[in-house]
Amino acid sequence: MCGIVGYIGNRRVVPIVLEGLKRLEYRGYDSAGIVYLEDGKLRKHRCQGKLANLEELMDSVLTESRIGLGHTRWATHGAPSEANAHPHSDCSGDLVLVHNGIIENYQTLRKRLIASGHTFTSETDTEVMAHLIEEYLDGDLVAAVRRAVQDVEGSYALGVMWSGQPDRLVAVRNQSPLVLGVKNSSGCFMASDIPALLPYTRNVIFLDDNELAILKADSWQVLSIGDGRQIDKKVQRIEWNAGMAEKAGFRHFMLKEIFEQPQAILNTFRGRIEPESGIVQLPEIELSLEELQGISRISLVACGTSWHAALVAKYWLEKWVGIPVEVDIASEFRYRRLLLGPDVMVVPISQSGETADTLAGLRLAKQLGAKVVSICNVVGSTITRESHGTIYTHAGPEIGVASTKAFTSQLTALFLLTLYLGQVRQTISADKSRELGHALIALPEVVEKQLPLLQEAMSVIADEFSRSRDFLYLGRGANFPIALEGALKLKEISYIHAEGYAAGELKHGPIALIDRDMPVLALAPKNDVYAKLISNVEEVKARQGRMILVGSESDESLHDISDYVITLPDIHEELCPILYTIPLQLLSYQIANLRGCDVDQPRNLAKSVTVE
Ligand code: AGP
C-alpha cells in the first residue's frame, strides 16, 4: 500500500531516503514526503503526486543530516494531498512518523485526542498515531510507542522519530511489512520492502508482528511490544543484486519481467524435480507422509492474478491427484462459513505475501485446524512466516504492478505441487511422472524462443486494436482462467474494459455484445475441448465479430476462421496454460504503451494490497 524508508548512520540521509523511495514507488505513488533532523529540529517536506515532485523540491535543499524517514503513499484515508502526505507530526512538531496500514479505530482515538486538546492538520488515520504517542511521551520514545500501540486496532508498519532522543529511529510492525537493513560500517535502515535496501546492504532482518526495533547509527535492537523483552532476530542475506530490482535496459519493469519468465520458471523448479524420473521433492512442506496421504480436500485461496493461478491448479490437482479442490477469492473465503479441518490442505497463493485478504484467510484456516502450505514470491513475508511451509516461487522481485513472471512461476509451483502430491499419494505413475516432468523441464527454452517472436506478432494486433473500448477473452478447461488473466492484464494497464469468459458461456449472454467493434480473443490449443472452442469461434464470426485466435502452429485451419492468428509450438497439453499466457501479457503491454498509459504504475492500483 505505501512505501516506508528510514536511515540513521554516518551518511547523508536525504539521498538514501529518496533513492529508497524510488525503489518502493510501485507500492503507492499518489504523494510522498521526507523528514530529517537538523540543528535539533525536525525538517519536513511533502508533495502531492509522484515522487519526482518531492525529488524536485529536495534539489534545492542542502542538509548534512544523518537521520531521517521517508514515505510514498497510496491513499486509504484522506485524498492524496500535501496535508495528507506523510510524515505526520504531533502538536509540538518534535515527533514525526510514517505509516503503512490502516488504523481501524482512528475515529474513536481522534475524538478522544481532540477532546484532550490535540489539534489535527490532516484527514488521515496515521496522524492519530503521532498524537497518541505524544500523549504518552514522557522522556522515553520507545516506552511511549509501546504504550500507544496498545490503544490501536488495525495494521501498521511505523517509522518514528523524536527530536528529544536524536540518536535513534523506532520501527514498529503489526500486519504490515517492515524489513531492517543492517550494515555496521554505515548505519541502519528500515524499509517496507527489500529493493530499497539493496544498494546499501544485503543483510536484512524481517520484523514480525508486535515487534519494535530501535535503530542507532552503530547498533540495533528488537523488542517485543508486549513485554519489552529483547528478541534475537536472525540476519538473513538477500541474494538479489540491486540490478535485479532495476529495469536492466528494458523500458518498463513489466516488459523486463515478461522476458524474465524463462529464468523465473526454471528457478522455480530447479532443484525440486529430478530431471530423468520427474520425481519432485518439496521438503519445505512441513507435513509428514501420513498427513499428506490423509488430505481429503484442497482449498486454494488468493486474489487477482494469483486467484487465476489457483483456478488453473484446480484442473491439474483434481485430474492428477484425484481429490476435490475448492478455489476461493480470499475476500469471499474469509467471510463464508468454512468447513475446514486437519484433513484439508489450504494453499494461500500470493506474490507479495502481504495481501490482507489472503493473510486473513490463512489465519482463519489455521484456527480451524487446516494444514496451510503457501505459495509465495517474497522470502520472509508475513504469509510465509505463518504457514506450515512455503513453496517459494523464485521469480525475483516483481516491481511492475501487473503480475507476469510471478504468475507463471506460481503455475510452475502449483504444477510441482501436483506432481509431488500425485507421487506421494501414488496417483501418478512413474511413466506419467517422467512425461510431465520432462514437459516442465523443457518449458523455459520454449518460452525463451517464443518471446521475441510473440513480441513482434502481438505488436501487429496491438496496432489494430489499441483504440478498442471493449475486449472479450474466451477459453475452455484449464485455459479458461488464462482468458480471465488476459482480460485482467489488459484492463489493469490499458484501462480498456475487458472480460474473460468460459467459451461455452458465450450463448448465455456475452454473445449479445458481439459486433465489429468488439474484438474477441480465444485460446485454441489442441485438446479435448478444441472442437467445442472452434464452434464458439464460428458463432462469433457469424455475428461479424473480429476474431483473434491463439493456437497451435500445426493447426492449419486457424487461418480459415480467424481474422488474426497467433501460433505457439505444440507442447504438452497440461502446460498450455503457462505458455498461452505469454502472448496475452505482451498484447496488454503493447496496447497500454500505444495508449500512453503508465504501464508499471497504473492509475488507482498498488503492487501489494495490504488493506481490506
Ligand atoms: C495482478 O496483475 C494484480 N496486480 C493483482 O490482481 C494481484 O494479483 C493481487 O492483488 C494479488 O496480489 P498477491 O499475489 O501479492 O497476493
Q: What is the 3-state secondary structure (H, E, C) of 293-307?
A: HCCCEEEEEECHHHH
| Interval between CA 237 and ligand 1 midpoint (Å) | 26
Pairing of strands 203-206, 179-183: antiparallel
Average pLDDT over residues 368-396: 90
C-beta 306 within 6 A of ligand 1:
yes
Instruction: Quote the CA–CA distance of 164 and 612 in Å, as a whole number.
Output: 36
Cβ 352 under 6 angstroms from ligand 1? yes
Q: Which of 252, 609, 611 to mutate to test the pocket of ligand 1 (most atoms within 8 A of CB)?
A: 609
Question: What interhelical angle do 405-424 and 581-594 show, nearest 10?
Answer: 170
Cis, peptide link before residue 452, omega less than 30° from 0: no
581 lines ligand 1 (CB under 6 A): no
Q: What is the mean pLDDT of residues 235-261?
A: 81
Cβ(206)–Cβ(238) below 8 Å = no
* Average pLDDT value for residue range 399-407: 96
Q: What is the pLDDT of residue 102?
A: 80
- Look at residue 572 in the predicted model and tell me its pLDDT: 97
Quick one: average pLDDT of 202-231? 96
Q: How far is the CA of 481 from the centre of ligand 1 (A)?
A: 15
pLDDT band at 397 (very low <50, low <70, confident <90, very high): confident
Q: What's the full length of the chain, in residues?
A: 612
Assess contact for 414 and 348: CB atoms under 8 A.
no
Of 2, 376, 576, 597, which one is the catalytic site residue? Answer: 2
Distance separating alpha carbons of residues 19 and 15, to the nearest angstrom = 6
Measured from the CB, is residue 175 less than 6 Å from ligand 1? no
Neighbours of 425 (CB within 10 A): 17
Angle between helices 405-424 and 304-320 (to 10 degrees): 20
| Tens digits of residue pLDDT in 136-179 | 999 999 999 999 999 998 889 999 999 999 999 999 999 788 99
C-alpha distances (whole Å) from 387 to each of 201, 381, 525 are 28, 10, 36
How does residue 78 score in pLDDT terms, banded at 50, 70 and 90?
Answer: confident
Q: Is the CB of 579 under 6 A from ligand 1?
A: no
At what angle are helices 430-465 and 405-424 packed, to 10 degrees?
160
Summarize the confidence of residues 578-584 as an average pLDDT: 98
- Is 41 an active-site residue? no
Model pLDDT, residue 260: 92
Average pLDDT score over the chain:
94
Mean pLDDT, residues 363-367 taken together: 97
CA-atom Rg of the chain in angstroms: 25
DSSP state letters, 237-276: E----GGGGS-TT-SSHHHHHHHTHHHHHHHHHTTTB-TT
Residue 330 in contact with ligand 1 by CB distance below 6 A: no
Parallel, antiparallel or unpaired: strands 67-73 and 3-8: antiparallel
Q: For the chain, how are helix, strand and coil distributed in percent, rounded to 5?
A: 40, 25, 40
**By the 8 A CB rule, do 156 and 590 touch?**
no
303 catalytic, yes or no? no
pLDDT at 378: 85
**b/e map of 55-84 (b: 16 or more CB within 10 Å)?**
beebeeeeeebbbbbbbbbbbbbbeebeeb
Q: Of all protein residues, whose CA lies closest to atom 4 belonging to ligand 1? A: 402
- pLDDT recorded at residue 439: 98
Phi and psi for 301 in degrees, rounded to 5?
A: -130, 130
Residue scoring higher pLDDT (242 or 567):
567
The confidence band for 24, taking pLDDT boundaries of 50, 70 and 90, is: confident
Closest C-alpha to 363, from 330, 392, 403, 397: 330
Long-range contacts of 453-456 (CB under 8 A, 24+ apart): 454/566, 454/582, 454/583, 454/586, 455/586, 455/590
Q: What is the 3-state secondary structure (H, E, C) of 199-243?
A: CCCCEEEECCCCEEEEEECCEEEEEECCCCCECCCCCEECCCCHH
Sole residue written with cell 504492478: 401
Going by alpha carbons, the residue nearest to atom 6 of ligand 1 is 304
Residue 411 DSSP SS3: helix
Contacts 24+ apart (CB under 8 A), 127-130: 127/88, 127/89, 128/103, 129/88, 129/97, 129/99, 129/103, 129/156, 129/158, 130/88, 130/89, 130/90, 130/95, 130/96, 130/97
Q: Give tens-digit pLDDT for 332-350.
A: 999 999 999 999 999 999 9
387 CB less than 6 Å from ligand 1? Answer: no
Structure confidence at residue 50 as a pLDDT band (50, 70, 90): confident
8 A C-beta contact, residue 453 and residue 553: no
Residue 485 in contact with ligand 1 by CB distance below 6 A: no
Q: Does position 1 have pLDDT exceeding 60, yes or no?
A: no
Does 245 score more than 70 pLDDT? Answer: no
pLDDT band at 247 (very low <50, low <70, confident <90, very high): low
Is the pLDDT confidence value at 132 over 90?
A: yes
Query: Would you say 357 and 303 are in contact if contact means Cβ atoms under 8 Å apart?
Result: yes
| Cell numbers placing 325 | 479442490
Q: How far is the CA of 304 from the centre of ligand 1 (A)?
A: 5
Cell, residue 254: 513489466
Q: Which residues pair with 31 in a beta bridge?
A: 48, 73
**Which residue among the candidates 44, 314, 405, 607 is catalytic per the annotation?**
607
Gap between the Cα atoms of 28 and 26, Å rounded: 5
What is the number of the ligand 1 atom nearest to the C-alpha of 410? 14
Q: In terms of C-beta density within 10 A (0-12 exposed, 13-18 middle, 19 or more buried), how is residue 499 classed?
A: middle
In the predicted structure, residue 420 carries a pLDDT above the cut 90: yes
Task: Determine the pLDDT at residue 499.
Answer: 97
pLDDT at 168: 98
CA of 350 to the centre of ligand 1 (A): 7
Give the position of cell 500535501: 82
Q: Which atom of ligand 1 is nearest to the CA of 402?
A: 2
C-alpha to C-alpha distance for 196 and 18, rounded to whole angstroms:
10
